[in-house]
Structure 1
């Protein structure tokens, strides 16, 4: 043996039977064994130290597996738990993941090796741990040898040998900090470097989860305001509505309806269709609904209201117009008196209790495209059991049928409504919506909205 070999085998031992090219482990090091045969029948074994190369390969493979695992969750809490669990399994005896402070404290996930992680909100002083405050602000980590484990606060750990604190870098802002704890030995420089590599990937995953959650919350709040409202119950009026966006993956679109309460138990109803589909059209519906709500505070006359809405849309956006049907509902002794006005929209349909279907005598000009509009208003009385149906062209222009290319059409809608005399408002809109959906089948369609006003039957 040469001197290097003697350092590997300090005791007199018999050499094992290695295979040429085999990787062997000796004293926590990895070697490749190579044999050279001599003419006298003897052999020389060369042990080539491949520990560092093997370690780098293992760490690279480990980082790939850990990165893949981290990108499977877009929930911030689950992502923090996974980071802590991976760190405790592969890097330390215990790992803590600390996110930036919220109003209720710091979100902290703690994980002991071999145990499930725990998540909680804690009020802690991050300045009690050397480098933690800086890490949460995104500054580079301090070496672990600068951190005195004996000075660690109780909420962190007691009786430990070494602590590593490293930032979790995110997308533009820090995602948090990672604390690694060992109880029996120090972290080496290479282990600290590997921890920083892991933290960089973990920070990206946590940042992506936080960003996704924030966007989901914003989208949910905006979508909630753009969707048609839930309709409440009234003593003298039955109201029901249904809405379906053009794409099943979208919740909002260009069709809308609203109901507003007026003095003396009157109700103002509106159903409309903005030019276009998807989010852009939904944003315009929000503007139209807001404008109508504001106009109701100063004017209730339909013609004046639609003219004012027309001017507002011309001023704000020349690229999108809207068709609307508005109505004012007044309880009377013999049922409901409904005043209806169309602004370029399909006229509402009156469904009598006996099955007769009438078309409201109202016409009008598109709103938001011409400098001046004209409207005509109709007034109908709904006796108990009668209904008034407002709908968008997504119903009548629904394309489907046996061959998949025929429109549902107004005639087919009228015939279907003839069998709906006396139906409650909720059953009426559900029936119309179901017929259109069955006609479409799996095909594409425009936004669809239906609103029914019914005079309740007297008991």
Structure 2
């Protein structure tokens, strides 16, 4: 077939880039054969050895060179690859869109913090869909929280009670029935939407952010484009973005609400912080078994009473089991003991009433307890100690002696009748009484990793703690148990030290 008859445009360019010949198809190109596309002329002058691609009019051509080494001329054969190019562009756009969706999904679901989630939604909206964005949460009280982001990624928060002035926002915040995007002229948007927005905003659109059966919020996009419509690829991406943003915000809000409820409930379960009761030093330490747990089955309480002839009550207990279920029972027991405070001087009566409450409850949970009635008598302290299935307290004397209280009793919550033996102990200045849970003596560790810390080792360590203030003694015991267990499995642990301050003579403190 002669070159003149081929359907492919052919241009012959000399060494200087001048067209020396062209076939019929080349002469039919937009601009004719003499109007050489700049991309083709550049490739010719750079002596391109392979095909090059560029536009001719509204079409895309790929030019293949055939060199005439002798004369320095080059025949350029042009092949129309417009459809191939468009398919490649569509594939790249689809790939970029998919990558953006993956990024959005990953970023949005990477945090349960509501503030960070709102910031991420606003930033991603500006990166992929708009020149500025406003994320509006459903009303709480009289105002809506708004997260605002401008080009550059800076996010700030605002509050507005004027959401009703924004057309389409009320419908978007209801989220059901589903509403399509609402396009507006910037002049229709209230000042709190356009405040701090970049110059040249040509259109505004309101998108609903659907949640899990409840409205998650709304997204307001501010765009420099004056078009009141998304391109087909933007429309698909905006729909996916809104769905994932709504899901992420719903999860973060649910987590925030549950965390707030948990924090409120936990506050009543955490042990008190007390340093003195009517001049008596009282120090407690508590550690739940799990690394992330705040409460567990061990607990202590200090009920202070002032005045002569009245006893304060210190309680330390250990509920069967661990974790949240044990913590719930702990709260119930602590509330019951608080209600029984009018009978605090009669330890047996308190234990009987608590036993009745636990037996009446469902399940077979039980608790061990030690009660310490604290009464100040001048410079001394009288303790009434009663154990109910619990390790007996240890008294650390100023001279280094350690005495184990002679108290015992049955645990609470399993037997119809409970028995107990109460001992009265006198603490002199410098003496300390230690109440502790079995998380101390049953801590497993040591050189071989499975040895119990035990009563004897605890007594030996306490002899070295003679004269320590109550707070230092409690800290020391908790540290010893933790060091013994090392990185092994740990039980709940509770420690309370009750100490009488050492007397201070006129000529100075006791050395």
TM norm structure 2? 0.81
- Does residue 442 (structure 1) correspond to residue 479 (structure 2)? The answer is no
Q: C-alpha distance in 2, partners of 1:112/1:226? A: 44
Shift of 1:133: 0.5
Matching of residues 47-126 of structure 1 within 5 Å: 47-48=82-83, 49-50=86-87, 51-103=89-141, 105-124=143-162, 126=163
Matched, 1:188 2:223: no
Question: Residues of 1 paired with 2:61 and 2:267: CA distance?
Answer: 65
Asked whether the 8 Å contact 1:389–1:451 carries over to 2, the reply is yes
Q: Is this contact kept in 2: 1:252–1:278, CA < 8 A?
A: yes
Q: Does 1:405 align with 2:446?
A: no
Higher relative CO (CA 8 A, sep ≥ 6), structure 1 or 2? 1
Which residue is equivalent to 2:81? Answer: 46
**Distance in 1 separating the partners of 2:56 and 2:315:** 83
Alignment of 1:162-241 (within 5 A): 162-186=203-227, 187-188=229-230, 190=232, 191-241=234-284
Distance 1:160 1:41, change over 3 A: closer
* Structure 1 position 26, deviation (Å): 8.4
Establish whether residue 330 from structure 1 lines up as the match of residue 367 from structure 2. no
Task: Name the larger-Rg structure.
Answer: 2
Q: Is the 8 A contact 1:391 1:451 kept in 2?
A: yes
Query: 2:407·2:422 contact (CA, 8 Å) conserved in 1?
Result: yes
Report SS of the residue matched to 1:82. Answer: helix
Q: 1:183 to 1:321 in 2, by over 3 A?
A: same
User: Please, which runs of 5 or more residues in structure 1 have no aligned partner?
Assistant: none
1:372 counterpart residue number: 417
CA RMSD of aligned residues (A): 2.9
User: Per the alignment, do residues 34 and 268 of structure 1 end up closer, same or farther by CA in structure 2, a change over 3 Å counting?
Assistant: farther
Moved more, 367-376 or 223-232: 223-232
How far, CA to CA, are the matches of 2:91 and 2:187 in structure 1?
Answer: 35
Q: Is the 8 A contact 1:141 1:165 kept in 2?
A: no
* Offset, 1:132: 0.9
Query: What is the alpha-carbon distance in structure 2 between the residues aligned to residue 342 and residue 127 of structure 1?
Result: 65
2:461 & 2:55 partners in 1: Cα distance? Answer: 82
Identify the range of structure 1 (445-454 vs 186-195) with the bigger mean alpha-carbon deviation.
186-195
Question: Shift in Å at residue 22 of structure 1?
Answer: 8.1
> How far did 1:200 drift?
1.0
CA contact (8 A) 1:131 1:142 kept: no
Structure 2: where are the runs of 5+ without partners?
Answer: 1-6, 9-24, 44-48, 67-74, 505-511
1:379-398 alignment, distance < 5 Å: 379-398=424-443
- Find the aligned partners of 2:448 and 2:104 in 1 and give their Cα distance: 52
Summarize the alignment of residues 188-337 of structure 1 with structure 2, pairs less than 5 Å apart.
Answer: 188=230, 190=232, 191-262=234-305, 264=307, 266-298=311-343, 300-337=345-382
Instruction: Please report how far the alpha carbon of residue 115 of structure 1 lies from its aligned counterpart in structure 2 after TM superposition.
Output: 4.8
SS of the residue 2:215 aligns to: coil
CA distance 1:26–1:290, shift in 2 (3 Å): farther
